[in-house]
């Protein structure tokens, strides 16, 4: 088994690395890595329904869709991630307890009463510090998990806080749980770097065939290609979302405004606007103009710049319209 300390903190690059070790390295792998501020959403989730759009924009948080299912998680540099890839005899290889056990063993060495709970979590005193997800393809499994070590908890809650009334769809929703940092439960102070090394040493000690591995330039170039062509694109991170209906209302200087959007693969397919606003032009012209536009701020602002907004919405601004669409 190849054991990798992955030093990149670019979320797009790191999720691409997960795919690379899973699909392109024949050897089983174990990897430790960290992301700078990011929300990582599950493969089957509606991205916009999982994030606090204003908070994410204000903080410059990157949003990336991963290969595996499950719920959305917030990453920062106080969060340590681990990945296993393993080739098995058949496709029935989903075993969350097996791959989280080494993390539990390390914490027990440190006197922390960590345990596996529920479907895919590790907890301390009933509070979650590790969420896990798996992806199986043919006879190979990718297991990856988070370890909240010293994350900024206000950012965890702020980035994922959403209004559930905004979206009506059948996508998998993340369920908020009480969370905690590992560092709060240690008997003696320890840095994240020391904790990371302790986990890697434990894996090397308990897996006789394990050896440290550094990515070659060829590896890194291949990962960069996956990053640029897939994980850094709007089409994968947002357009891949399931179809959904979006509904939201706001009160503006020009009156109340309610926006109803039908979205498929991230593209607006139908729009209806209601409210007590005033305008001189036929509102159906505005609604039709939004059809086939991406449900994404930059694309919608470009479309709005082509329209005479005041003719449809007296005393309602472009920013007002953007606020009601997200």
Going residue by residue through the chain, which has 326 residues, state the pLDDT in tens, using 9 for 90 and above: 999 999 999 999 999 999 999 999 999 999 999 999 999 988 877 788 788 888 898 989 999 999 888 778 889 999 999 999 999 765 456 788 899 999 999 999 999 999 999 878 999 998 999 988 888 888 899 999 999 999 987 777 788 865 555 555 545 555 556 889 999 999 999 999 999 999 999 999 999 999 999 999 999 999 999 999 999 999 999 888 778 888 888 888 888 888 889 999 899 999 988 887 877 788 899 999 999 999 999 999 999 999 999 888 888 899 999 999 98
Residue 6: both structure tokens together: 């992955």
Let me know: does 8 contact 33? Beta carbons within 8 Å.
yes
Phi-psi region of 168 (alpha: psi -120 to 50; beta: other; left: phi over 0): beta
pLDDT at 175 (0 to 100): 55
Domains of the chain, by residue range, sit at 2-237, 244-324
Q: 2-237 maps to which CATH number? A: 3.30.930.10
pLDDT at 311 (0 to 100): 87
Strands of the sheet with 38-41, listed across from one edge? 62-65, 38-41, 73-75
Q: What is the pTM of this model?
A: 0.78
Matching CATH number, 244-324, of 3.40.50.970, 3.40.50.1110, 3.40.190.10, 3.30.390.50 = 3.30.390.50
pLDDT at 136 (0 to 100): 83
State how far the Cα of 201 lies from the Cα of 199, in Å rounded to an integer.
5
State how far the Cα of 47 lies from the Cα of 72, in Å rounded to an integer.
9
pLDDT at 24 (0 to 100): 95
pLDDT at 91 (0 to 100): 47
Residues 6+ apart with CB under 8 A from 109: 198, 202
State how far the Cα of 273 lies from the Cα of 148, in Å rounded to an integer.
43
Let me know: does 84 contact 28? Beta carbons within 8 Å.
yes
Residues 6+ apart with CB under 8 A from 55: 61, 158, 159, 161
């Amino acid at each position: 088994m190849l054991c990798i300390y992955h030093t990149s903190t670019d979320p797009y690059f790191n999720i691409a690395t997960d795919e690379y070790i899973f699909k392109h390295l024949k050897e089983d792998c174990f990897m430790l890595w960290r992301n700078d501020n990011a929300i990582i959403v599950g493969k089957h989730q509606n991205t916009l329904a999982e994030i606090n759009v204003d908070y994410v924009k204000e903080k410059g948080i990157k949003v990336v869709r991963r290969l595996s299912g499950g719920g959305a998680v917030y990453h920062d540099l106080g969060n340590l991630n681990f990945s296993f890839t393993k080739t098995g005899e058949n496709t029935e290889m989903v075993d969350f307890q097996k791959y989280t056990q080494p993390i539990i063993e390390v914490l027990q060495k440190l006197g922390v009463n960590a345990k596996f709970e529920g479907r895919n979590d590790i907890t301390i005193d009933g509070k979650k510090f590790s969420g896990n997800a798996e992806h199986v393809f043919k006879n190979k499994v990718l297991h990856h998990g988070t370890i909240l070590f010293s994350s900024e908890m206000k950012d965890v809650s702020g980035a994922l806080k959403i209004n559930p009334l905004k979206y009506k769809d059948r996508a998998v929703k993340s369920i908020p749980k009480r969370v905690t940092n590992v560092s709060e439960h240690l008997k003696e102070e320890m840095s994240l770097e020391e904790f990371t090394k302790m986990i890697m040493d434990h894996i090397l000690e308990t897996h006789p065939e394990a050896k440290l591995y550094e990515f070659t330039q060829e590896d890194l170039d291949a990962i960069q290609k996956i990053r640029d062509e897939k994980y850094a694109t709007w089409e994968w991170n947002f357009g891949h979302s399931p179809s959904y209906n979006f509904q939201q209302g706001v009160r503006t200087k020009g009156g109340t405004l309610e926006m109803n959007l039908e979205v498929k693969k991230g593209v607006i397919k139908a729009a209806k606007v209601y409210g007590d606003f005033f305008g001189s032009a036929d509102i159906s012209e505005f609604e039709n103009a939004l059809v086939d536009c991406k449900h994404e701020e930059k694309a919608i602002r470009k479309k709005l710049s082509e329209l005479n907004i005041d003719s449809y919405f007296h005393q309602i601004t472009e920013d007002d319209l953007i606020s009601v669409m997200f």
